[in-house]
Amino acid sequence: MKSTKNKKIEINVKDIAGDFFTHMAEQGLAATPAQIRKISEKISSTMGYEPKVGVFGKTGVGKSSLCNALFGRKIAKVSNVAACTRKPQEVLLNLSSQGGGLTLLDVPGVGESRERDVEYSELYENLIPELDILLWVIKADDRAYSVEEMFYNDIVLPIIKKSQIPVIFVLNQVDKIAPIRDWDIENYRPGAKQQKNIDAKILTIKDKFRIPLVKICPIAADEGYGLTSLVEKIVRYLPAEKKYGIVREARTQNVSKKALNEAEKGVWDTVKSAAEKIFIKAIPYIASAAWAFISKRWIF
């Protein structure tokens, strides 16, 4: 695997808040101290948001490896199925105290036994609605996905639909897709023949799990392959106010310019909505000046 340095994106709330208010002052629009405080608080809370990411999948698919590679963070395992008798908030609260700015949940897998699957389904029902995003990890070189397919379609899908939780399918260990010798060991990426088979596998996954292609992300956690695209997808499917937390917590090497831009835009969109509520009541023309500033800054 490539460098395992664990650098993080630096937050500079003061700069962002400063830019905003300087621009307003330049327009001759002074916000009141109370308005400044409210907007600054919104910027801080959006940039400091602690995302809750659930990592689901069978034993050995690479959940722990994925979290380590993406965030440089050991995952907090919810291996105790008795957890399902507790309130999900309790589970999440306990876990977040271990994690800092990110709550990662390694949820027990499926297909160990019928009884276990019933217990898992209860746990999933409690946990999934508490998450910001769900990563469903499957192993690229598995021949069949019948157990996962049944469990996902019958148990997980109704819950994520009801709670509107975004899900991304992570096809891990693509370096093991035939022909294995085709793997480009210098550049940590698939060779041309391997890529063809990966593409075919992605189409199979799309049909079996009935998910759009854009929500499938081929990676090799141990090789550091595909992680940048995965962060881009996570950022894309999170709501605006939750995007930034992910780029802040991911290793810098996994955060592309595109992901960072989209996450920053998420902060501004959130601030924009907050400003709308705060300023519109006070002085409507301040609000329109704020929009002008924000949209000028964030045109892509």
Which positions touch ligand GTP (CB under 6 A)?
Answer: 57, 59-65, 109, 172-173, 175-176, 220-223
For ligand GTP, give the closer residue by CB, 128 or 135: 135
Interaction of residue 27 with Mg ion, rule CB under 5 A: no
Binding residues with Mg ion: total (CB under 5 A): 2
**Shortest distance (Å) from residue 62 CB to ligand GTP:** 3
**Shortest distance (Å) from residue 56 CB to ligand GTP:** 10
**Shortest distance (Å) from residue 65 CB to ligand GTP:** 3
How many Cβ atoms are within 10 Å of 96's Cβ, its own excluded?
17
For ligand GTP, give the closer residue by CB, 6 or 295: 6
Residue 112 three-state SS: coil
Residue 166 touches which of ligand GTP, Mg ion, none (CB < 5 to 8 A by kind)? none
Q: Which residue is nearest to Mg ion (CB)?
A: 64
For Mg ion, give the closer residue by CB, 44 or 64: 64
Q: If we measure between CA atoms, which residue out of 276, 296, 295 comes closest to residue 286?
A: 276
Residue 226 touches which of ligand GTP, Mg ion, none (CB < 5 to 8 A by kind)? none
Any residues with CB less than 8 A from the CB of 24 and at least 6 apart, and which?
Answer: 30, 31, 286, 289, 290, 293
Q: Which residues pair with 106 in a beta bridge?
A: 55, 77
**Shortest distance (Å) from residue 170 CB to ligand GTP:** 10
**Shortest distance (Å) from residue 174 CB to ligand GTP:** 7
For Mg ion, give the closer residue by CB, 63 or 233: 63
237 CA to centre of own chain? 8
- The alpha carbons of the chain give a radius of gyration, in whole angstroms, of 21
For Mg ion, give the closer residue by CB, 138 or 259: 138
Q: If we measure between CA atoms, which residue out of 300, 252, 243 comes closest to residue 270?
A: 243
Q: At what angle do helices 284-297 and 257-282 cross, to 10 degrees?
A: 170
Any residues with CB less than 8 A from the CB of 139 and at least 6 apart, and which?
Answer: 58, 60, 61, 62, 172, 173, 176
| Given 64, 126, 228, 256, the residue binding Mg ion (CB under 5 A) | 64
For ligand GTP, give the closer residue by CB, 69 or 294: 69
**Shortest distance (Å) from residue 2 CB to ligand GTP:** 13
For Mg ion, give the closer residue by CB, 127 or 235: 127
Q: Which residue has the tokens 């995003």?
A: 133
Residue 221 touches which of Mg ion, ligand GTP, none (CB < 5 to 8 A by kind)? ligand GTP
Contact 86/167 with Cβ under 8 angstroms? no
Query: How far apart (Å, rounded) are the C-alpha atoms in residues 101 and 96?
Result: 8
Region from 64-72, 113-121, 186-194, 222-230 binding Mg ion, contact rule CB under 5 A: 64-72
Q: In the chain, count of helices (H) and strands (E)?
A: 12, 6
Q: What residues make contact with Mg ion under the rule CB under 5 A?
A: 63-64
